[in-house]
């Protein structure tokens, strides 16, 4: 009973992608672990191989990497999201990206070997994972396109529209690094929007 209470949203999230049988759901939940990370604690460091899928029960995580001394933020992950660094996870290669908790964060994890075994044992879980990977790939391609195209103001407006529910939990420095601009440029964009006439 306690297991299903803790994982209440994970089955619902999985069902969003593909229906799971009762047996598959039971085996999936049995394969999970719950971990808590402090603010500033790494879920994944550079050059580590990503061995887990992460489902956020509570908290906030960012995915980022460095090019020289410049930080690039790829994604923010909040509650009710299942994610990983999929290029490292699927290829079993060291990751260039890092994952860090931006606040106290509790996650449910599934390790690589357990997920592989579940995919072998249950066709519905294999289907779910394939769809999850497809969606993640599509979102990553969209994210890369955002970084290469469009004006900073347009990128900010899109970010605000898609992440309004968590914007107050993200520092201006992290938002600037996500948009690929300086914090000063971000402040100018925010100030311009603040002083726009109503209705604009």
Over the stretch 108-150, which tens digit does the pLDDT of each residue have?
A: 999 999 999 999 999 999 999 999 999 999 988 888 887 777 7
The total domain count for the chain is 2
Residue 105 burial (CB count, 10 A): 25
Cβ(171)–Cβ(183) below 8 Å = no
Q: What percent of the chain has pLDDT over 90?
A: 73
Shared domain for 81 and 170, answered yes or no, is: no
pLDDT tens digits along 54-88: 999 999 999 999 999 899 999 999 999 999 999 99
Position 198 pLDDT exceeds 80:
no
Give the DSSP letter string of 49-89. BP-EEEEEEE--EEEEEEETTEEEEEEEE-TT-EE--HHHH
Q: In whole angstroms, what is the distance from residue 74 CA to residue 97 CA?
A: 9
CB 31 within 8 A of CB 110: yes
Average pLDDT over the chain, rounded to an integer: 89
Within 8 A by CB and 6+ apart from 63, the residues are 73, 74, 75, 76, 77, 83, 85, 97, 98, 99
Query: Over 50: is that where the pLDDT of 199 sits?
Result: no
37 vs 43: CA distance, rounded Å? 8
Q: How far apart are CA 62 and CA 48, in angstroms?
A: 16
pLDDT for res 194: 57
What CATH number is attached to the domain comprising 92?
2.60.120.10
Range of the domain at 175: 150-200
Nearest to 85 by CA among 114, 52, 132: 52
Q: Do 16 and 63 fall into the same domain?
A: yes
For residues 166 and 71, membership in a common domain is answered with no
Co-location of 14 and 84 in the same domain: yes
């Amino acid at each position: 009973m306690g297991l299903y209470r803790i994982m209440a949203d994970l089955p619902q999230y999985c069902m969003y992608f593909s229906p799971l049988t009762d047996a598959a759901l039971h085996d999936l939940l049995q394969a999970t672990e719950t971990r808590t990370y402090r603010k500033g604690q790494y879920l994944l460091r550079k050059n580590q191989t990503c061995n887990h899928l992460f489902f956020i029960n509570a908290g906030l995580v960012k995915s980022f990497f460095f090019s020289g001394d410049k930080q690039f933020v790829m994604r923010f992950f909040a509650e009710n999201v299942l994610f990983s660094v999929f290029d490292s996870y699927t290829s079993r290669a060291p990751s260039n990206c890092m994952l860090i908790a931006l606040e106290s964060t509790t996650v449910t994890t599934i390790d690589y070997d357990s997920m592989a075994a579940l995919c072998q044992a249950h066709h519905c879980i294999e289907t779910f994972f394939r769809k999850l990977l497809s969606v993640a790939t599509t979102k990553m391609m969209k994210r890369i396109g955002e970084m290469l195209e469009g004006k900073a103001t347009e990128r900010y407006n899109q970010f605000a529209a898609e992440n309004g529910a968590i914007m107050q939990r993200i520092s201006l420095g992290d938002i600037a690094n996500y948009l690929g601009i300086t914090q000063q440029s971000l402040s100018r964009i925010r100030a311009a929007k603040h002083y726009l006439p109503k209705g604009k």
